[in-house]
Amino acid sequence: MTEPSVRLARLAWRDPVAAMAPFANEPFAVLMLSAGGPPARWSYLARSPSRVRTIGGVDTDQDFSALRTLLGPHRTRQDEGPPFQGGVIGLIAYEFADRLEPLGLERDRDWPDMVLARFDSLLAFDHREQVVWSVRGGTADPAAWLEARLAPGGETSAPPAATFVAEACAMAYEDAVTATTARILAGEIFQANIARGWRGWLAEGAQPYGAFHRLVEQSPAPFCAYWRLPGAALVSHSPERFVAIAADGATVLAAPIKGTRPRSADPCQDLRNAAELLASAKDRAENLMIVDLMRNDLSRVCQPGSVRAPGLCGLESFPTVHHLVSHVTGRLEAGLDVADLLGAVFPPGSITGAPKVQAMKVIAAQEPPRGPWCGALFWAGCDGAFESSVLIRTAAFVEDGRGWRFRAPAGAGIVADSDPVSERLETEVKISGLARALMGRV
């Protein structure tokens, strides 16, 4: 049976954050918001998936075949309109890696290893052209979603969190950095990304979408996202692309981030911070280690000789941080698809370390389960195109009898010459956007 082609229609512009608000508490409603910095152009709102697959617990999946099954037969996209014209939106928790390479990782009891949802209809927001595209592949009419209005009293501008506290003291994190550098100096690994966690509760009556709304207003990023799941919600303002497949279905792109400096309200100091980052031999070395790891991962599924690193250690600036970003490209081997690509590269090298498997064992000895944090969020089109983010700068919310609780880690890449205090301060810079959105202060 041939898949029906999608029907596209241009609609008047509407702010995607406002368009999502009426559906913010609807299970599986999702907004993928491109809100600042490259490649900020397309945002997507999707509701009412036709099929859902959740993998966790006793499920025996050892790869990404479930994604291939849910995508179904290949369908050619229409030349006009958005890059994503229906397919699967998915969340891969960090611990899914244990299914690909048995490591004995402890699971996050609040989150499955993977959630996949098939969306045949959606709204695509073109920020550059200021137009909304209705992508209709099923019976639902996405154009009608724009007519919905938020019920009175739905969202407020008040800080939504009642508490926001570190899980461990500063010294405990510095000790973890010291222990990791000792393992690096012993030759066990070259680099590992070690995280600190923060936890809290939303105030009575507050909702995760209120936190998301404040976050994108104060700290926009290219890969902001809100996904409401049954009894849970994901809020992210990630700056980092994981991997993508272009519209040709073969060209692969990755953009690992390593190297961080804080932004400053003083323009002169801000320029000095950026210049210091660009001149830092330590940060450049850290970035290049992950570029080499990413090249190796992509080489497992790309045509021989096609993997390149056309851009190394470029500066990209966001509301709270400057980052060094590199770009790695390749071309998929004929007959391979997104499921093969994810099997070769997950989890992201920038948030594990090098060598990847041993770095993950070091991380597991220092941290509790990560859950969604440092996993990936993606859309996968029925035409073979794909886009994904690394779930850094991300809070995972869980609803229980007391209300909404959340966890939001931040990490730093540890190398042989890492200074424990500097690495701890880096985690505090990285968490500052979420802290400000949730509490109104850092």
The rounded distance, in Å, linking the Cα atoms of 323 and 409 is 18
The rounded distance, in Å, linking the Cα atoms of 402 and 334 is 52
The rounded distance, in Å, linking the Cα atoms of 142 and 80 is 18
Active-site residue (options: 155, 240, 387, 426): 240
Dihedral, CA of residue 120, residue 123, residue 127 and residue 128, to nearest 10: 60
Residue 3 catalytic?
A: no
The rounded distance, in Å, linking the Cα atoms of 19 and 155 is 13
- For 4, which DSSP code? P
User: Who's near 241: CB < 8 A, 6+ residues apart?
Assistant: 39, 222, 223, 253, 254, 255, 387, 388, 389, 390
Write the DSSP assignment of 87-151 as a string of letters.
EEEEEE-GGGHHHHS---PPPPTTS-SEEEEEES-EEEEETTTTEEEEEE-SS--GGGGGG--PP
Active-site residue (options: 258, 286, 367, 428): 258
Q: Where are the beta strands (DSSP E) in 137-250?
A: 165-166, 191-201, 223-229, 232-238, 241-245
Closest to 42 in 3D by CA, of 122, 116, 104, 98: 122
Residue 258 catalytic?
A: yes
Q: Are 197 and 409 in contact (CB under 8 A)?
A: yes
Active site residues: 240, 258
